[in-house]
């Protein structure tokens, strides 16, 4: 009997699906054919951080983690466009994921949308077709107009679509999604397996990640790279306006010039997780001393304010689920909102059968 397979497009969901399947007594394998978050390991090889995180977090044995085939990055795109890369990735996919898969269920993380990966014949739909996979989609909620994208996805995915998870719903919109959008989608043959409210915590980014993305120098409190930034503030106004502005925000990163000492001082006395100073001007000793006492990292960047803000803003909501507090929160969130038993049933793996 062929093992069922499922393809999805969200790391948070993957992590909780894996936990849920394990609790149901299922032997699972995991893979991410297209890598998007690569780093060099200590051995010099290139690995996907998401794959490494999941494998380590769930203690998956090596034979339950399929290798990532390709980094979806600029150099590989250029090679493909120039005709230097003529690899048949679909054949590689069959060999690595179909012939070598083990366990009751093979869970694959798909590309970020229905188009990504087309250049390499590894789009979500292409992979699902080659592997004869079921598909679970994760859609970020924008408004009730999100229904159009979901209907279009249903048309493209067809009967392979076994459900959707609607993610990042504002609390004020939950009732409308539950009473209007969800029933309509169910009537259209699109099972809604979860409606997840948005969370400032899950959209936050660690100070360490900002250091990495900004290529910043850490001037103090290098030991607090784990602090999570939930909002961004720009210190470009006068100090009185800045204080009022800062007091309305929480767990923020404040971007300001290295010469704006009064803004730096005001930021340190409010809910600030890190100071990001532009212009490569060092802050005065008393600012560094106060930041040390308050355990607030100060970063220095060789960038202008606009570029710095763009990089920081781009990272909100796109960071990986690698912080323990996020892992704990998403597990709780999914246990309350995600219908794992319904998903198992659609895969032909009822809870009772899985536990027997």
Tens digits of residue pLDDT in 264-309: 988 998 999 999 999 888 899 999 999 999 999 999 998 888 888 8
More confident residue, 6 or 145: 145
51: tokens are 């794959």
Query: What are the DSSP E strand ranges found in the chain?
Result: 5-8, 28-31, 34-35, 38-40, 46-48, 65-66, 70-71, 105-109, 134-140, 161-169, 192-197, 205-206, 217-220, 228-229, 231-235, 252-257, 272-278, 298-300
pLDDT tens digit string along 2-33?
Answer: 444 455 545 445 555 555 555 556 677 788 88
- Dump the DSSP string for 71-114: E-SHHHHHHHHTT-----HHHHHIIIIISS--SSEEEEE--SSS
More confident residue, 241 or 177: 177
Give yes or no for residue 352 having a pLDDT over 60: no
Confidence of residue 37 (pLDDT cuts 50, 70, 90): low
């Amino acid at each position: 009997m062929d093992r069922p397979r499922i393809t999805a497009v969200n790391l948070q969901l993957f992590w909780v699906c894996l936990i849920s399947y394990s609790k149901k007594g299922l032997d699972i394998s995991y893979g991410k054919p297209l890598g998007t978050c690569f780093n060099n390991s200590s051995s010099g090889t290139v690995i996907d951080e998401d794959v490494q995180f999941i494998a380590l977090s769930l203690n998956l044995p090596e034979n339950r983690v399929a290798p990532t085939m390709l980094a979806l990055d600029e150099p590989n795109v250029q090679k493909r466009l120039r005709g230097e890369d003529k690899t048949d990735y679909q054949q590689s996919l069959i060999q690595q994921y179909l012939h070598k898969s083990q366990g009751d269920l093979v869970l694959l993380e798909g590309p970020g949308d229905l188009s990504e990966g087309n250049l390499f014949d590894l789009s979500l739909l292409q992979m699902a077709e080659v592997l004869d996979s079921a598909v679970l989609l994760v859609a970020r909620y924008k408004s009730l107009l999100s229904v159009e994208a979901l209907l279009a996805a249903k048309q493209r995915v067809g009967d392979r679509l076994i459900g959707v998870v609607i993610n990042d719903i504002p609390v004020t919109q939950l009732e409308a999604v539950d009473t209007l959008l969800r029933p309509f989608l169910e009537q259209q043959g699109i099972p809604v397996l979860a409606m997840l409210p948005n969370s400032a915590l899950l959209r936050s980014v660690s100070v360490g990640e900002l250091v990495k993305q900004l290529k910043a120098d850490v001037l103090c409190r290098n030991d607090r790279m784990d602090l999570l930034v939930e909002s961004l503030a720009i210190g470009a106004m006068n100090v009185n306006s800045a204080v009022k502005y800062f007091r309305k925000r929480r767990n923020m990163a404040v971007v300001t010039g290295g010469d704006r000492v009064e803004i730096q001082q005001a930021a340190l006395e409010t809910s600030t997780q890190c100071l990001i100073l532009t212009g490569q001007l060092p802050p005065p000793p008393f600012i560094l001393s106060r930041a040390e006492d308050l355990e607030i990292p100060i970063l220095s960047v060789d960038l202008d304010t606009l570029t710095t803000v763009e990089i920081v803003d781009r990272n909100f909501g796109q960071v990986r689920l690698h912080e323990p507090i996020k892992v704990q929160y998403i597990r709780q969130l999914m246990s309350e909102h995600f219908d794992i038993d319904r998903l198992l049933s659609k895969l032909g793996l009822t809870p009772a059968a899985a536990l027997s």
